[in-house]
Structure 1
């Protein structure tokens, strides 16, 4: 079931549907995607208010000042009658009877009497001028940003219907892997947790749990069964060696394989499967750079789809260098923003750490030709 890199990426992108929407407090919905449109629940503005600092007046001038209204005042204050004026601040509710607000700079005040020419504009923002109740604030499908939150709150929304953020469990396998401290002989530090956390968050998901597992079939089997998240990511145990149990366990458990090997270097053993209960399993090769490639190829587009976000449009730009290509597949190489390729092996992450993108180079690529680019997390 080996696929081309483009087929594997498209499979991860297109196989999942957005998770159901759930009522979510507006302030807690940031970063999630709207499953339903937000509509105005309170007119914007909510009440008639002054658009300028000045005097609220009625009738012809001059006007005798009868009071003052500041922003935050309750409605039902002084009533403006012909020949009277009420000093008013921007945003303050206009008193009943007001015909116009005359800005300070157009007024002359002497002994409590305001004189000014008849204003050309009323300088009053009427209730509902911007949005009436029921009007569309933000359509479904939009990612909730800080501005979306502010607009929804201004329109009186307390909750929105947002797609549930996909949850992820990470299982880091390998007798040699430690989570902290200085590695001893034959040991390596876990480099997957930070990468998977970043890719998950960027795609709109949440890393809900992480476990380090030795290379034991029974422990991996139990961990797969116990993971209650939408997606289970397994690093290592992805090949066919004596310590690689994942494929055997998934097949025995009735998983449906969508991707089982990708024609790319590095990252060939990556895989994507669906368990009978609907949970997704993403298999990342144990080599750190190959695992990063797989996370960007399978995990990120899968989580993006589950989160309800629109599929990313991958940039394509000319790149230059002299990497070793892969006939019949793609070579994935770190690249700087200016298109310069940086050499890297399947283990080292240092080149990717100094790169802005990973360039996907087909077997017939030539220096200076365009390549698909994956953004480095």
Structure 2
């Protein structure tokens, strides 16, 4: 075990002990599967939380009903619960929230409100707008042949599993859980993420000039992470970090104290000021993935550390070129976060290519595309160099062109979607 390695590091079937730089890159699909499996094995702990606090969490257990839904026969309309043939003598009234006495005599009725419990003995519910009153005060009318109430268990039977573990919690799920009688649910919280920006050449304000470029990833990556459901505070974004090994070690050690995932930008190669690999070695990290056979985005990585508290944390090394960094986010960070949250591996939708897309030899090519959602077609965009963001700003995702192939018009190809805002729907 190398010096500094934390106890409980990954076994060799999921990651090597600090892979050498010359190791062959992982295939893109293999890398996605590997990081998802490692994330799932380190899924965030489950805890019971009140319903009002659950939006954005993930079910750690299936959602089941505590009673039948509805729990009792419930009137679907305002009207009259009647017994036997009419006209009917009015003997009472039942409103939502009340428990009515049974109707025991034919020819009797009670006024009933929508949502109220239907009295035992009711043979029909007559809509108020289809009823009349006789001169002696009785109710007359012809009930519709179909019952005008919801039967117990019509929506769900008691104990039925409604949603599986791994389901994202949204307002609709919260409302459903409340209707089932739950006050709390067992959930996994959103991951906490931090970002370290590396590069002395970066400017944090104003236009680029004099050999220095504007940092585009410091403002953008936290927003992407939030769209993936992470919690990222302004204080969790640090940089530019000085291009020295001690500064990198100190910054990463500090970020790891509060984060489940730390993303870094730049420094993923082995140049004179690329300190990420030595930093990971100094902190006793194991690589889950070290470089991926994908273009753009090749020098990406994911490493795993186990703290003294036994908690697993991850470091995602994003390339410094902006589009390559986003490719690393969709390739490694997205499946990792799905695993950490206990959610299913993201399933890629497909679209039909409208134009040709070149292959990249032995590498998977992730090509930025704009989608025609009506036609179900994918159209390559322009300005797609690894250092460019113009094409990304007008794209919906990446078309996947597998190694040794090229994309031809009419081909059905997987699409890696860019992350959406909460509540937005994929194509």
Superposition TM-score, scaled by structure 2 size:
0.78
Q: Matches of 1:46 and 1:171 in 2, distance apart? A: 53
Corresponding position of 2:282: 252
- Tell me if structure 2 keeps the 8 A contact 1:199–1:300: no
Output aligned runs, 1:263-342, within 5 Å. 263-277=293-307, 278-319=312-353, 320-321=355-356, 323=358, 325-337=359-371, 338-342=377-381
Q: CA deviation at 1:288?
A: 0.7
Partner of 1:360: 400
Q: 1:222 to 1:87 in 2, by over 3 A?
A: same
SS in 2 for 1:312: coil
Cα deviation for residue 245 of structure 1 reads: 0.9
Whole-Å separation in 1 of the counterparts to 2:39 and 2:269: 25
- Are the counterparts in 2 of residues 199 and 296 from structure 1 also a CA contact under 8 Å? no
Compute the RMSD of aligned alpha carbons.
2.9
Q: 1:332-367 deviations in whole A, cap 9, x for unaligned?
A: 332232333334212111112222222333453235
Q: In structure 1, list runs of 5 or more residues that go unmatched.
A: none
- Matched with 2:36 is 13
Name the CA distance, whole Å, in 2 between partners of 1:114 and 1:342.
Answer: 70
1:181 and 1:193 mapped to 2: Cα distance? 14
Question: Which one of 225, 234, 237 corresponds to residue 210 of structure 1?
Answer: 237
Q: Deviations over 1:256-313 (max 9, x none)?
A: 1122122333222111111132211110011111111111111111111111111122
171 and 80 in structure 1: CA distance in 2 versus 1, 3 angstrom threshold: farther
Residues 315 and 39 (structure 1 numbering): CA distance in 2 closer, same or farther, change over 3 Å?
closer
Mean Cα displacement is larger for which, 106-115 or 294-303? 106-115
- 5+ residue gaps, structure 2, are 1-22, 372-376, 420-427
TM-superposed CA distance for 1:138, in Å, is 2.5
1:375 corresponds to which of 417, 422, 425: 417
| Distance change >3 Å, CA 224–CA 81, structure 1 → 2 | same
Alpha carbons of structure 1 residues 46 and 318: separation in structure 2 relative to 1, 3 Å? closer
Is 1:36 matched up with 2:61? Answer: yes
Residue 375 of structure 1 and its aligned partner are, at CA, apart by 1.7
Rounded to whole Å, the distance in 2 between the matches of 1:113 and 1:261 is 83
TM-score normalized by the length of structure 1: 0.87
Confirm whether residue 3 of structure 1 aligns to residue 3 of structure 2: no
1:92 alignment partner in structure 2: 116
Shift of the alpha carbon at 1:88? Answer: 1.9
For residue 10 of structure 1, give the secondary structure of its aligned residue in structure 2: helix
Contact persistence 2:401–2:413 (CA under 8 A): yes
Rounded Cα–Cα distance in structure 1 between residues aligned with 2:151 and 2:380: 59
* 2:254 aligned partner: 226
Contact 2:39 2:340 in 1 (8 A): yes
Match 1:155 to one of 180, 183, 187: 180
**1:122 shift after superposition:** 5.2
Match of 1:345 among 377, 385, 392: 385
